[in-house]
Amino acid sequence: MAAYCVDVLLREVPLVLRREVYAVAASLGAVIVVAGDSLGLPTTPVLVLAALSVAVVRILALWRRWNIPLTRS
């Protein structure tokens, strides 16, 4: 939490949002969990699917060297 506050105070983009695909993978997992919950699906399979999806996206991003486009300053 303290590192996040420093980033906000210094007006810097947090490390997890720079070039790497951390936030995109985490967002995908969150969407899967919320969708599964709203559809009333069993919790354990939904959580396993979400975790596997996050891991696969992250591994593919490392393997294929995917990066998030940055805005020009």
Whole-model pTM over 0.75? no
The CA-based angle 20-53-24, given to 5 degrees, is 30
Tell me the pLDDT tens digit for each residue of 14-23. 766 666 788 8
Q: Supply 11's token pair.
A: 């007006």
Q: For the chain, percent helix, then strand, then coil, each to nearest 5?
A: 70, 0, 30
Tokens standing for residue 34: 């919320």
What value does the mean pLDDT of the chain take? Answer: 83
4-15 per-position pLDDT tens digit? 455 667 777 676
